[in-house]
Structure 1
Amino acid sequence: MTDSFTIRTIEAFCYRYPLVTPVVTSFGQMLNRPAVFVRVVDEDGVEGWGEAWCNFPAPGAEHRARLVNEVLAPGLIGRKFGGPAQAFEALTVGTEVLALQCGEPGPFAQAISGIDLALWDLSARRRRLPLWRLLGGQSSRIKVYASGINPGGAAQTAEAALKRGYRGLKLKVGFGADVDLANLASLRSIVGKGMLAADANQGWSVEQALKMLPQLAAFDLRWLEEPIRADRPREEWRRLRAGATMPIAAGENISSVDGFEEVLAENVLGVVQPDIAKWGGLSLGAGLASDILKSGKTFCPHYLGGGIGLLASAHLLAGAGGEGWLEIDANDNPLRDLFCGPIVNVKDGAVELSEAPGLGMVPDLSRIERYRS
């Protein structure tokens, strides 16, 4: 088949899985796990699947699904494109004024990203290549770590993750020094010399972060993630870098080419974590991953959602190469586990992607119909 395609249909599907134990962050909690899956079918009957970021605010998933179905899809159906990047550009440029007018550049970027991921899956299927190979990958094996470890029950969650094959952990911090330090000590003991990171979810001021840094030094953290707000002046981030013994990580809340160019040009972040379902899709994410590695930093895709976006993030990491880890949420979520293919099979801290075309998986949505929103 040729690389070009004509889009026949685009449809977004919204789901919510209720949680027994909420996912807790320093800025709030998730009482359920939403997912917006996107299916694109071309005129040859080839389909592709993507996912749009939709974690916050709580009603946001339904809104993003409607943006795909009612605003974005009509602008692409029937049009021919030479590749996903052309469609991404057409959607982005075509909705810039509308996103500005309604004050919603984030939701538009996320909905566009979901379509973009689906188009890359479709393109790889047309080429009969696994997506990671289409993205230039040489190896299907990637390292992973267990993320989303709440302050309550952290030790139990960590121990369960190790039993499932993980060798790396990331703890949520920002809940008071006593709680944070006790949990870090517990997790360091559990994981031994394995990878341990901490995520403050933008929870501290620069003064609070600087006060915490000496106390965190004892835990040999692989990185400290988003210790302060993503939009704080770069001078504050430079102060953190100067006072830190561990690498500083961020990227999930950077949502512009200029923003990433700025952090790649300076020696502040050691780990850069774009979220391809939140901004940029693979059309921007693939080049960004390459630029991160060229800058000498570690590329670790951020992800906390359903299985399709997680699988796409895995293919990007395998395609880019490097020594980074894939983030996998440790909390219960069938919207993730049923649709992430080989990612559920963690062995000795790693997973192996398949040689099947595209993402290597076509979701059976009937399995989650009871969670349809």
Structure 2
Amino acid sequence: MQDEIKIVSADALVFRLPLEKPVSTSFGTMLDRPAVFVRLEDDRGTVGWGEIWCNWPACGAEHRARLLVSDIAPRILWRSLPSPKDLWRELTAATEILVLQTGEVGPYAQVIAGFDMAYWDLTARRAGSSLAKAMSDMAAHQVRAYASGIHILDAERMVAEARSVGYRDFKVKVGFDFDRDLDLLRRLHADLRPGETLHADANQGFSAEQGRAFLRATDNLGLGWMEEPVRVDSDDVLWADLAGLTSTPLAGGENLIGEPAFQSAIASGSLSVIQPDAAKWGGPSGCFAVAQAARAAGRRYCPHFLGAGIGLVASAHILAAAGGDGMLEVDINPNLLRDAIVPRWPIVRQGWVDLPEGKGLGVEPDLQQLASFQTMRLVAEERS
């Protein structure tokens, strides 16, 4: 039986890191790097860390932080709590009417996901286990990682840089200029070395016809996958049509919310690679269940992630617990919010990274290094 756990404080820490070069996708541009960390502390002094997805809109980080301390924290402080999975389901169900009332399905899912991540970290630390082992006794100790966040215009340089620090798999962003992107992708493919794989991500940037044309034109490149070639809410007929046009596996999942959506995506068979983001929906509780379902159906589980260091490490633990042939996404653009964790992580060797040693996540944010970028800290600690 799980020891009685009582959370006595829940903090939301907001950071904003200025960027020398904005991060661009087919749908928008990040002018700075935001992050929201969740810090939970129990009545024994055990601390757990989580991360809430907040990349868009630009004002989203502060909103998520306030949502955590004003709405989610009062539901959990100073009461005996169930297991992480049961509490995740409880919080999701308890906020269903609020989600309908506000229309904010994304923000609530993201805040609950970040809380779930921190609660898993805390409970694993209390149990003296790594997060991966707390989720599965069969968890691996290392995962394969791929270099991501590579704009097609910068890809030649960035792939070379990623290769030099140990990566063997690379994902480039397309969906900006059809002909130019296609030409550059072909050049990248021609320069691959034995054992290396190239993936492409359109971030929902193509129309149906453009998606069809791009998949046909790249069918002979042996891409590891084509991610979100069209809008995620396109009907099943279009997704099935796209899957039938090419030998390239289709990937998606970062923009799906809720167990039914993932169940449908897995059952349809159009997506060969399932990519939930543990800071955006589900946390470890929801994403591990999706990973298990995906693997049982013969799909690959490759967690999406584009954020700071806490969520990245959590994604690695979930992947290690899930097993299989999945890969960890690591955005290789400069990002102190990703790098300012102790101990230093990840270190890539021949495309693989070892999980951090230690309890829970095995890392903590380096708040001293991040102090000049912290813009807000909200604390919920009153008895309800």
TM-score scaled by length of structure 1: 0.97
CA distance in 1 between partners of 2:290 and 2:344 (Å): 25
User: Which residue of structure 2 aligns with residue 259 of structure 1?
Assistant: 261
1:230-309 alignment to 2 at 5 Å? 230-309=232-311
* Equivalent in the alignment of 2:187: 186
Deviation >3 Å, runs of 4+: 1-4, 340-343
Q: What SS class does the counterpart of residue 81 from structure 1 fall into?
A: coil
Shift, 1:341, TM fit: 4.7
Partner deviation per Cα, 1:213-234 (whole Å, 9 max, x = no partner): 1211232100000000000111
Residue 297 of structure 1: CA displacement? 0.4
SS in 2 for 1:133: helix
Distance 1:313 1:367 in 2: 23
- Is the aligned partner of 1:5 residue 2:31? no
Give matches, 1:31-70, under 5 Å: 31-70=31-70
What SS does the corresponding residue of 1:33 show, helix, strand or coil? strand
Structure 1 segment 105-184 matched on structure 2, within 5 A: 105-136=105-136, 137-184=138-185
Q: What SS does structure 1 have at the residue aligned with 2:364?
A: coil
| Structure 2 residue aligned with 1:339 | 341
Which whole-Å CA distance do the structure 1 matches of 2:208 and 2:282 have between them? 29
Aligned match of 1:310 = 312
- Contact 1:311/1:341 (CA < 8 Å) preserved in 2? no
Pick which of 196-205 and 336-345 moved more. Answer: 336-345
CA distance in 2, matches of 1:178, 1:289: 35
What SS class does the counterpart of residue 240 from structure 1 fall into? helix
> Which residue matches 1:17?
17
RMSD: 1.4
Post-superposition shift, 1:79?
1.3
Give, as a single letter, the amino acid of the residue that structure 1 aligns with 2:175: G
Stretch deviating more after TM superposition (83-92 or 17-26): 83-92
Structure 1 residues not aligned, in runs of 5+: none
What's the counterpart of residue 93 of structure 2? 93
| Range that drifts further, 150-159 or 250-259 | 150-159
CA distance in structure 2 between the partners assigned to 1:285 and 1:340 by the alignment: 25
* Structure 2 residues not aligned, in runs of 5+: 376-384
- CA shift, 1:179, in A, is 2.0
- The secondary structure found in structure 1 opposite 2:153 is coil
Following TM superposition, by how much is the alpha carbon of 1:340 offset from its aligned partner in structure 2, in angstroms? 7.4
Q: Residue 206 of structure 2 is aligned with which of 204, 209, 212?
A: 204
Q: Matched residues in 2 for 1:343 and 1:182: separation?
A: 35
d(CA) in 2 for partners of 1:289, 1:271? 10
Per the TM alignment, residue 8 of structure 1 is displaced from its structure 2 partner at its CA by 0.7
Please tell me whether the aligned partners of residues 307 and 340 of structure 1 are also in contact (alpha carbons under 8 angstroms).
no
1:231-265 CA-partner distances (Å, limit 9, x unpaired) = 01111100000101200000111101111111111
Q: Deviations over 1:151-172 (max 9, x none)?
A: 2222111111111111000000
CA contact (8 A) 1:203 1:228 kept: yes
Cα distance change on mapping 1:186 and 1:337 into 2, 3 Å: farther
Deviation at 1:212, TM superposition (A): 1.3
- Describe the superposition over 1:266-314 as per-residue Cα deviations: whole angstroms up to 9, x where unpaired: 2211111011110111121111111111110011000000000000000
Contact 2:225–2:248 under 8 Å retained in 1: yes
Q: Secondary structure at the match of 2:370?
A: helix
Give the conservation status (yes or no) of the 8 Å contact 2:2–2:83. Answer: no
What is the identity, as a one-letter code, of the residue corresponding to 1:75? R
Q: Which amino acid is 1:326 matched to?
A: L
* TM-aligned CA deviation for residue 49 of structure 1: 0.3
Cα separation, 1, equivalents of 2:128 and 2:102: 40
**Equivalent position of 2:369 in the other structure:** 367
Q: For 1:259 and 1:334, locate their aligned partners in 2 and report how far apart those are by CA, in whole Å.
A: 33
Aligned match of 1:350 in 320, 335, 352?
352
**Partner Cα distance (1:123, 1:69) in 2:** 20
Report the counterpart of residue 79 of structure 1 in structure 2: 79
For residues 275 and 341 of structure 1, the distance between their equivalents in structure 2, rounded to whole angstroms, comes to: 23
Contact 2:53 2:307 in 1 (8 A): yes
User: Which piece of structure 1 moves more, 135-144 or 40-49?
Assistant: 135-144
Distance 1:355 1:35, change over 3 A: same
| SS of residue in 1 equivalent to 2:12 | strand
1:299 corresponds to which letter in structure 2? Y
TM-score normalized with structure 2 length = 0.94
CA contact (8 A) 2:166 2:350 kept: yes
1:159–1:190 Cα contact (<8 Å) kept: no
Distance 1:217 1:90 in 2: 45
Shift of 1:342: 5.5
Letter in 1 for 2:237: E
Tell me the distance in 2 between the aligned counterparts of 1:271 and 1:207.
22
Identity %: 45
Q: Which residue of the partner structure matches residue 231 of structure 2? A: 229
CA separation of 1:352 and 1:92: change in aligned 2, threshold 3 A: same
CA distance in 2, matches of 1:290, 1:23: 32
Partners of 2:186 and 2:345 lie apart in 1 by 28
SS of the residue aligned with 1:202? Answer: coil
Alignment partner, residue 378 of structure 2: none
